[in-house]
Structure 1
Amino acid sequence: MSLIDEVKKGNEQLFEILPFGLALFEQANKMTLLNNAVDINIFKSKDFISYINEMIESQAQNEGIEIHYNSENYFLQGMPIVEKKNSTFAGVLVVVKAFTDGLGKKYQSYKELSMDLQAIFESSYDVIYVSDAEGKTLRVSSACEKLWGKKQSELVGKNVKELEHEGLYKPSVTRLVLEKGEKVSTIQTTKTGKRLMVVGTPIKDEEGNVLRVVNASRDITEVSKLKSEISEMKQLINGYKQELMELRKENDQQNPIIFNSSEMERVFELAQRVAQVDSTVLILGESGVGKEVIAGYIHRTSQKDNKPFIKINCGAIPENLLESELFGYEKGAFTGANREGKMGLFESANGGTLFLDEIAEMSLHLQVKLLRVLQEQEVMRIGSAKPVKVNVRIIAATNKNLQEEIKKGSFREDLYYRLNVVPLHIPPLRKRREDILPLVLHFIEHFNNKYLQNKSFSPKVLDALQQYDWPGNVRELQNIVERLIVTSEGAEVTIKDSSDIIASYRLNHEKVQVLEILPLKECVEIAENQLIKLAQQKYSSTIQIAKALNVNQSTISRKLKKLEAL
């Protein structure tokens, strides 16, 4: 009797009362038993027939596997029947379960959902790690091998405490979640030398008991390296700042502010007092008197010494560029703008000092924006609607008479009063001649060191330099001393070396030039005629000419008739 016959014998009645379908097949694809719970229509399905053939074929090859088949209406499970004595395949016992109330569709939906979740589980950028309430590893995504150097099969089934003890990762976030009973986020180090950001989340039942712990682990090794590099860069920058401060102090010692006059002494006394507060300062004076030097001195002797000192010449930059330089702009604010946007000088100087040289050259449009900064202590970037708070000390400077500019309508009166909190006037060099010789001697030493020379100036040259009015002030004086050091041939600069240079400077700045010796009366007459002709070219009436030359109209009329007669 075959094994199939033994299975059938005495079990027919049992088979009929089973709540599920049952079919028995022999090797030759012959069905020998079919109970009443099986819908005969199932055998009309080509998928089912293919399943049976696959089952018998695989079992005939002694593969010893179970094969599942399901559709919207049925779920089938095939189990091989094997002879115990010789392990030969005898047939297949098929269990047939019919789905009711749409369970088949639900089953298919759950199956597809499971496939989607599996795909997400494996393709996630983070490594997903699932453990039970005892810390036993249930599932882990395949990326685990990159993080911990272990395959899925090496982790599943093992307890997280055991893996932590082995040093695979430290700390175990699952253990921390089970101990605290709440969500945990921490940095984890691995045996492979990586740093992970791990977030562990407990899954609880209705009573609050932890059923599962799900961890998401992200590799932040490179981020940590970048943070470390940034920290090192910050330390390096701080070191450079310290070195710059030391160099600046040395530079201040090597290039001291030189003066000997009581006028400049009063200027520096006021500058020292102003440096102790944050009041806005307006520095007034002719070109070349050293307005920038005084501004730098105020900053260096203030409590903002270790903060930025930023300088900008308002007359050297076009209006549209000056606005973006001062206030900055958001990304895409205008064509050609930096993609990331740009911080303005007000923000760059935050906490420190901003020196606005030639403030009178600023347009009325920008004067309004500057006034807002002074009033509100905030700036608005171009293209932005969000103000940025700043704490900046403003020092402005000009060589113009701002009250005259206000009358002309080129400078705002309200801005003038905002800037003119502490006015500081630097007198021209011709009004403090006591400073000329100390400055000359300082520049001689400076340029000797710079050009590796050892030259001196003769007493006559020094006297000539002291007698000159210096319309270009300290800057002009510095330029002449440098030129004399560079161009003179001997060890001592003589009056012969300097005569041409000083004469050329005098000619360039004198209003009236006399190039040869002639009688005084003739010289005066020539100068007078030239002056009247020049005024006649500029003004259209004798009344205007008389007013410009500060004489009576009758005098001008008489002299014009005399000129016409010549």
Structure 2
Amino acid sequence: MEILDLLPFGVVFIDLNWKIVGVNRNAADMLRREATAIVNLHWNDAFPDLLTEEIMNDAKAVFRFEYGGEEYIVQKVPYPSNKRVEGHVFIFNCVPFLEEVTKELDVYNDLNLDLKAVFDASYDDLHVTDGRGITLRVSPGCAESMGHKESELIGKSVYQLEKEGVFNPSATRQVLEKNEKVSMVQTTKSGRRLMVAATPIRDEQGQIIRVVNASRDITEESQLQTELERLKQLTEGYRKEIMNLRTKDELEHKLVFRSDKMEKVMVLVRKISEVDSGVLIIGDFGVGKELVASLIHKWSARSEKPFISVNCGAVPEAVLETDLFGLERDASGVREGKFGALEMANDGTLFLDEVEAMPLTLQAKLMQVIHEKMIFRIGSQRPIPVNVRIVASTRIDLEDSIQSGQFRKDLYFQLNIVSIPIPSLKDRREDIIPLIVYFTGQLNQNYGVNKKFSPSLLKKMQQYSWPGNVRELQNVVERLFVTAEDDWIETEHMQNQYPAGFSKQKIVQVNEIIPLKKATALLEIELLEMSRKRYGSSTKIAEVLGVNQSTIVRKMNKNNVK
């Protein structure tokens, strides 16, 4: 009976003997009697002469009666129990209340007609859901854009429609998740692209009770946008190419050397520039590997096409994959497309710096590109043909990485058709002073001064090992140049700006007097251990130390150098 008390009309239950067995609160109020006072009474005892005998005998009847100065409309219906009629139910309400409800229904019907007219005539497509995402109404244009009839959409949740691919993503879902208005590009199952503005409608407590989506078909505009994006990407590729062209004339001037070792490197660079074979440049940090790669490109038949450089060790794997292979613009337009380095370097040269840092998954994809000469942007199944020469660099022995399973053997052979070892600065000390003079000349030209390094400082700088190679040398020259107040840069300037051990460093340190034979043996062991750590292979160690490989192997075994 508690549930019946919530009903907005009167309800009275009467058994077959016309005994009152139940009364809800509204019925008791309208009949002006306490429910407990009339329950179990015969109807005529509780309300004598209120109903005619004809009405009482009619199984179903709709009739009126007056009581307490109010007129009521009553519907009498039987109520079954165990498939048998056990009595009747009187359902009634006062006439003025029902007339008011009828008027409100008429207003509602009129509003419904007006709303339908608005939906049908709207330039925008409209889609309305309740606060749970259940579709309540769609305009004819919206149904057409989604490729479904209105009857197939009404009553379905946006979660279900999104899962079925009717539209993606769901603007209504995002409104309900973010609790705010959302604007986005949506793609329908029929291939249309819609610009959607989804607006939440709230009740007095701020809860979302409706979500109204207004959308407009922008398929043609999206196609134009795609072409515009492609032109932007091409422009960026050409911009990089122009920057490379501007610096081509400067490359040879930046490569300053006097040593025979670098002369041999340049002879090899010119020779391999004439072919398209894979090249692996080997050298420590700062020796100028990218500069050498740029010269290979400049002196090649591809020199009029882009030279694109990617540092494989500078970014995470996901970013590196995007940088190399590009990114397809997604259907919703939320994610912009991007040209990858392989695509931008088409017909030109791609330089892969620190190739040893490339993850195995990307190594496999790169091998596929080398063999098939085509790429797939991330998020796309459309093949893009590419014609790229790949020049790679490393600072470690890749054969060790192959043994440890960190680098693919097939990729190593593909890249290492020709290898170019770049000697460290300490192994070509005759290049140090020419480089200092070159860097100083550039700075003098930039700042309009005429500073010079003293001969004594040049000599000490030539003796230094320069672990950071040419890059470190260039930084130190500039630091001394801008901090020294005099035109002559002296040794004391270096001691003020650089570690104290710089001026005292010698190539060989002698700490105590020992027999010459023993000193020679110790120096030999130290050289072997240092070379083993730096170069790894006995072939490379023999080349650096200037002896035969068999000699290196014999001496390493003799001195137990592992």
TM-score by length of 2: 0.47
TM-score by length of 1: 0.47
Larger Rg: 1
